[in-house]
Homo-oligomer: A and B are copies of this chain.
Amino acid sequence: MYVTSQQLLVATPPEETRMYHNPFYTPEVQGPYELISIGRLELERGGVIRDCRLAVATRGTLNEARDNAILIPTWFTGTHQAWLDTYIGPGHALDPSKYFIVIVNQIGNGLSTSPHNTEDESIAMSRFPFVTIGDDVVAQERLLREHFDITELFAVVGASMGAQQAYEWAVRFPDRVHRVAPIAGTAKNTPHDVLFTQVLLDAVTSDPGFKGGEHTSNEDVEVGLKRHARVWAVMGLSTEWWKQEAWRDLGMETPQQTVQEFLEPIFASLDPNSLLVMGRKWQHGDVSRHTDGDLAEALGRVRAKVFSMPISEDMFFPVRDCAAEVDLIPGAELRVIDDLAGHFGLFGFVPSYMEQVNQHLEELFAS
């Protein structure tokens, strides 16, 4: 077999690769997805992902007019599976019998190209470059155009960091997206969110097992990942959710059990570097990058119909922050989702959450 010098360069001995196997990021856990390479991706803040692979799941069929595509980017720690489990299917607004739904896992989320799964040693683990919300949107646009031959989107629907990506689409490609539904998220990260994200990342990086990103398994960082989970307990769920003992709906019997058997295992299974890549991306999400910091000008560019849907009890994307952005977007509407859980209402713990989301999305899709 003929071996090129390039292949020799890539073919490092197994003991020198810094990839590691993390069972959370497998089709067995996440359900099936396709890994699609969009090629070389130059990044907004410098650096490059030479072979950027996006983990994609689709539902439904693209119509002949190619105008029924809905893009769904993922949230912090989220994957396509969370959307398939809760938001998509017959009876939902996101109905595969009407729309061609493309869920794209964000760069660095552990399924798409990420620090622990890349074969490119130059960006493995601690060397992974800084990725922005803009980089994800550029990658998604290329994926849709080159792989699916889609140039216009019926809608972008995204929650939390997905909402950041949805806003980036609306500002960056105002003529190519017709409807945008940012759920529980903002176009420009608030100062408080910058600080909150830092606390989340501190919890992970402070674990000596993290080794500056050169850990060999998420298990090395178990202590830090569990600390990270406990920060989420305080900010991801509302004071009232805990007080009303809503964790009983999850089959839990005490708050401590909820933390130890529900939240900690979820976060302990993730790759620490993935959290870092996503957290930094989240921390710097800001569409006013395109307008020298002028948020009104950036949001004034939006041509899509926007329904911003904050969650009533959200501790860090409060309704008023979303309302202030709606005021800057032509024709946008504020649709508050009433949910006790706060930000983690996104997981659809209670049926009334999806009922509200479906109602708003149906109205948006009919507009």
Contact = CB atoms under 8 A, between A and B. Distances in A.
Contacts of A230: 195, 198-199, 202
A240 interface: yes
Given A195-B259, A196-B234, A234-B196, A240 B202 contact: no
A239 B343 CA distance: 15
A204 to B, nearest CB: 11
Question: What DSSP secondary structure best describes chain A's contact surface?
Answer: helix
Interface string A192-234: 1011101100110011100000000000000110010011011
A190 interface: yes
A318 B244 CA distance: 14
Nearest to A194: B255
B202 A239 contact: no
A328 to B, nearest CB: 14
A210 to B, nearest CB: 11
B239 A192 contact: yes
Nearest to A208: B208
Interface string A169-209: 00000000000000000000011101110110011001110
Interface of A: 190-192, 194-196, 198-199, 202-203, 206-208, 223-224, 227, 230-231, 233-235, 238-240, 242-243, 245, 255, 259, 315-316, 318, 320-321
